Chains A and B, each alone.
Chain A
Amino acid sequence: MKRFAYSRPTSVSDASDDAAEDGTQIIAGGTTMVDLMKIGVLEPEALVDITGLRDLERYEVGADRMRFGALAKMSTVADDPAVIDAFPALSDSLWKAASPQLRNVATLGGNILQRTRCPYFRDTAYAQCNKRNPGSGCAALDGGETGMHAIFGGSDACVAMYPGDFAQALVAFDAEVTTRGPGGTRSIPFADLHVLPGDDPHIETVLEPGEIVTEIALPMIPAMRNSFYMKARNRESYAFAAASAAVGIEMDGDTVRDVRIALGGVAATPWRATAAEESLKGGPLTEETAREAGRIAFQDAEPLEGSAYKIELGADVVAGALMTAKSRMGGE
């Protein structure tokens, strides 16, 4: 690991100023940052540790909004009865991510900004990686292994997958992030936070240098209460999604009034399946319509070698998540 300077400011404005310096990275729980520094993928000159900003650990489940400070821990939020009651998919998405050790230190702000698990990004022995070394090429697309790469949102420069779970619950339910940067405070729709790789896959978000995510907030909507996060993976825990779906439904009798669907394990960024949502609105939710929504969700997928299975799997997971959310509703 390369030597680095380290600071632990106690105010958001100091942190933002420090983080705006060239070659600086922000560290919170460190579960991504330390990992990538140890394997030489990131070599910051300086780290700004924001865990001294204790105000950012707070969160609340209010009547109209849920607000999560960026430093709230994954495990704390996942286990909170108020969260589980109001928005089960959000708790599920945190519970089904990582391992207990990681969830106990990882923060929500860090979680949404986690980096891809693309093996070519994570191993500096590969000369080609446009995300790690802009302009160097893409080893995955140059004959590499692509069974766990994005089938939505990839480009000719990069097909790395966004690996997170929590973000799917956020993007499906219109979350917003609040940031504080050298230019002041702003609010960004969560759906706009991540950017597609395009020609510049090293740029992953709209955040400016020194801009720190301070809060993640969601408006309370009825579909949250009947929500579920289904995750398909090859072992029971501590595995990235082969495919996942965050869903929520609001029914008016037998008719779908509102439905939310987002897809994990398949896209370059958090991915909302709007067309699938539209297919269900105003109609019944049955095994058949749920499966049709799953098919629609994946109709524009662009599979790579080894990832065609994600289309069928993803469609089934969407259907399964919807049917599970519905069956849980029936229990109330």
Chain B
Amino acid sequence: MAQTINTEVTRTDARRKVTGTATYAADETPSGMLHGALVCSAIAVGQVTAIDTSAAESEPGVVAVFTHETLPDYKTVKGFYAGGPGSSSFWPMEGTDIRYAGQPVAYVVAETAAAARRGADLVNVTYQEADGSIHMDPEDSFVVGAGEDSEGMVLTKGDLQAGLDEAAQTVDMTFTTPFQHHNPMEMFSATAEWRGDRLTVWMPSQSVRTLRHGIAGAYGLPETSVRVISPFVGGAFGSKAGITPYAMLTIAAAKGVGAPVRLIVTRPQMYTVATFRPESRQQFRLGADAQGRLTAFEHVEIAQTPQFGEIVNPGTHITRAMYACPNIHTEQRLARSDTNSGGFMRAPNEMQTFFGLESAMDELAWKLGMDPVELRRVNDTMTHPTEDVPFSSRSLMESYDAVSNSFGWDQRGREIGSMTDGDWLVGYGCATATYPTNILASNARVRAQGTGNAYVELAAHDVGTGTYTIMAQIAAARLGLPVEAVDVVMGEADLPVAPISGGSTTAASAGSAVHDACVKIAQQLATQISGMSEGPLSGVDPSRITLDDGTLRGPDGQSQSVMEALQMIPEGEIEVVGTFRHPALTDQLIKATFSGGYGTAGPVTPEFAMFAFGAEMVEVRIHKYTHEIRVPRIHSAFAAGTWLNRKTAHSQLMGGMIWGISSALHEVTETDKPRSRFLNANIAEYLVPVNADIREVRVEMLEEQDDYVNPLGVKGIGEIGIVGTAAAIGNAIYHATGKRLTALPMTISDVLST
């Protein structure tokens, strides 16, 4: 039996995807389906005073034009940050209020998509406009809750001022990060079909059960009356997590016209009808003694939030886990502006905060005259700096050592501006990455057949990362089957409970439930075959039979393969539901997950702090004449527990690093300040790297064993790749030029003007 875990396995759906036969939600066309189109607000703040739909209604093919006055049976749900499943806590088209630019104000249904969009162009909306601001005012910020609350929004340990006073060197730096949008390749879409009181929704989703629970609740339907289907997802990154207004509008419109309706949101509309990464300010004050040991650590994060809700992605909870320090102060603050609700975008707590933290650490290293890697080394810790529990495992310096070796860090010139190549200035930079190991309850059903097959079913999602493949690998490894003999069914709310695909949890939590199901199959099988009159395990105490990757082993060397044993029992197969309930999951958290929510435990439990770690190193080049910033090399090393699939994991880590280059040098949702609009809402002007920007990308995947996080020892790798990149690039720019760039993205104009 070939090894199936910790090896390179080509994704099982690769052929279907490259041949176009993998079915995405918007590929469904229920019989009689009509097409929807959104009309979005031209103003950011104010009131709708009139909507003239007559021209749209006269357009050939247009079936209906719904406004806040005419859309029947439109339901809404509570926003995520208010404890509900919604992507926002403000719902458009409930009345005349306009709270952000690009807010849906009307919904056109037509016989063709072209007619629906033309109809949308012809809807004439009149507004009364009020003043607004798309940007937050960081000077007008607040802490969610009241001061030193239980959520740790403000945390003080030791005496920060004393730590600064005693420091040999200090840094006091402020960084800013911009609005960013996810821009998944697959557009947002929703298709809704009502049959009486039964509803089916096809929609790309990171949480089909959240969708079903929320929609059923809103309409007062039993969950059994609502199907939510999301077989494949073409990229999500946090943008397809919650219930969006465009989904609920489509469901209502389908009811209103008495026919199935499909909406495909346009690319510009994708910038306003769902979430984004809020802009932020990161303030750091660090102090260190002459040996580099931190004496003071302060991080104040101010993140943008809409007027109507509090979007908290607590980055300070992550930064304060990084380095040993006796005197720590962190504050998690928000400041309001006139936008839709932000949300999660790949590493929502970490990307922007680690740009600040790791740039400030680099600055501190230069001030101390220390190698920045050594500064991390002297401040490494096996105990969480503020929670006083040990890390379940922490391979930060192993990562630095591995990437230093791979990258050739010892070739780095010691002085600023000391490395050149022709017309290019060259710089090296490094930065730390981390990501918390979040834990969620999950179930999974596995049916193993003696004919040499298995079926795995769970309401998890493949957001393009290879989840179908790793779930098959886990079952294949435990049951002793080739990967291709395992069928995996996911992406439907009717399947056994699995968590939201967010927070890098699916492999760890849902995968552990698949693992548990296989162990349970082995236990049942052991009981049955030990009671049989024949066979190698006949008469053996079943409690002493163990499962060893496809083989049942007795205490005295007896063994039988799982498949052979299945053939001996009369049913020829066993079907069980496996569960994952980590000891840190309280009843309340389990209940939250099982009712469609996000009941996460960790990263800090009463026993351990659970994080994955890594280190990144980059070479940056800056052209003498064009001042273009390019990244010819980016290397990294990560340790994140068990690697399930070294191919798909490598791709995820590499993808994260590439997105990090994007965040560092390219990505920004620009704004029109007077009219409070996002300005570059298209992928010609919202820059992300092209192939030519990405040159040498190397990932070292370190071995790490962690028996505490879950039975598989998996920490989750969906997001850590992006975390350190921007700071590593900024630090390399500093090495090349002596210019410390403190705002993302870092562009030609920044290296010129600093």
Chain A positions within 8 Å of B, measured between CB atoms, are 1-3, 39-40, 99, 117, 119-120, 123, 125-127, 139, 142-145, 147, 230-239, 242, 306, 308-309, 312-313, 316-317, 319-321, 323
Contacts A235-B666, A236-B630 given: A147-B749 contact, CB under 8 Å?
Answer: yes
Q: Which of B621-660 contact A (CB under 8 A)?
A: 623-628, 630
Contact between B690 and A40, CB atoms less than 8 A apart: no
Asked whether B687 is an interface residue with its Cβ less than 8 Å from the other chain, the reply is yes
Which residue of B has the minimal Cβ distance to A309?
B749
Q: Whole-angstrom distance between the alpha carbons of A181 and B685 in the complex? A: 35
Asked whether B672 is an interface residue with its Cβ less than 8 Å from the other chain, the reply is yes
Q: Whole-angstrom distance between the alpha carbons of A164 and B670 in the complex? A: 22
Contact between A145 and B675, CB atoms less than 8 A apart: no
Asked whether B747 is an interface residue with its Cβ less than 8 Å from the other chain, the reply is yes
Contact of A313 among B114, B117, B121, B748 (CB under 8 A): B748
A242 CB to nearest chain B CB (Å): 5
Contact between B692 and A237, CB atoms less than 8 A apart: yes
Q: Whole-angstrom distance between the alpha carbons of A40 and B677 in the complex? A: 18
Contact between B628 and A238, CB atoms less than 8 A apart: no
Q: How many residues of B contact A (CB 8 A)?
A: 41
Contact between A309 and B670, CB atoms less than 8 A apart: no
Contact between B690 and A238, CB atoms less than 8 A apart: yes
Contact between A239 and B423, CB atoms less than 8 A apart: no
Contacts of B747 in A (CB 8 A): 234
Contact between A40 and B626, CB atoms less than 8 A apart: no
Which residue of B has the minimal Cβ distance to A143?
B674
Asked whether B166 is an interface residue with its Cβ less than 8 Å from the other chain, the reply is no
Contact of B625 among A2, A235, A239, A316 (CB under 8 A): A316
A227 CB to nearest chain B CB (Å): 16
B128 CB to nearest chain A CB (Å): 14
Contact of B672 among A145, A308, A316 (CB under 8 A): A145
Contacts A316-B626, A316-B627 given: A236-B748 contact, CB under 8 Å?
Answer: no
Contact of B679 among A99, A127, A145, A320 (CB under 8 A): A145
Contact between B749 and A242, CB atoms less than 8 A apart: yes
Contacts of A309 in B (CB 8 A): 748-749, 752-753
Contact of B752 among A145, A313, A320 (CB under 8 A): A313
Which residue of A has the minimal Cβ distance to B687?
A235
Asked whether B561 is an interface residue with its Cβ less than 8 Å from the other chain, the reply is no
Contacts of A2 in B (CB 8 A): 118, 121
Contacts A143-B673, A145-B679, A320-B624 given: A1-B690 contact, CB under 8 Å?
Answer: no
Contact of B690 among A123, A144, A235 (CB under 8 A): A235
Contacts of B117 in A (CB 8 A): 1
Contact between B677 and A125, CB atoms less than 8 A apart: yes
Contact between B685 and A145, CB atoms less than 8 A apart: no
Contact between A145 and B693, CB atoms less than 8 A apart: no
Asked whether B95 is an interface residue with its Cβ less than 8 Å from the other chain, the reply is no
Which residue of A has the minimal Cβ distance to B42?
A125
Which residue of B has the minimal Cβ distance to A322?
B625
Q: Whole-angstrom distance between the alpha carbons of A151 and B687 in the complex? A: 23
Contact between A234 and B665, CB atoms less than 8 A apart: yes
Contact of B674 among A1, A119, A144, A233 (CB under 8 A): A144
Asked whether B465 is an interface residue with its Cβ less than 8 Å from the other chain, the reply is no
B665 CB to nearest chain A CB (Å): 7
Q: Which of B144-178 contact A (CB under 8 A)?
A: none
Contact of A236 among B684, B685, B693 (CB under 8 A): B693
Contact between A142 and B665, CB atoms less than 8 A apart: no
The 9 A-B pairs with the shortest beta carbon distances in the complex, nearest first, are A320-B625, A232-B626, A236-B692, A143-B674, A309-B749, A125-B42, A237-B692, A236-B693, A237-B690
Asked whether B307 is an interface residue with its Cβ less than 8 Å from the other chain, the reply is no
Q: Whole-angstrom distance between the alpha carbons of A233 and B623 in the complex? A: 11
Asked whether B671 is an interface residue with its Cβ less than 8 Å from the other chain, the reply is yes
Contact between B666 and A234, CB atoms less than 8 A apart: yes
Contacts of A234 in B (CB 8 A): 628, 665-666, 687, 745, 747-748
Q: Which among A123, A316, A317 has the highest number of chain B CB atoms within 10 Å?
A: A123
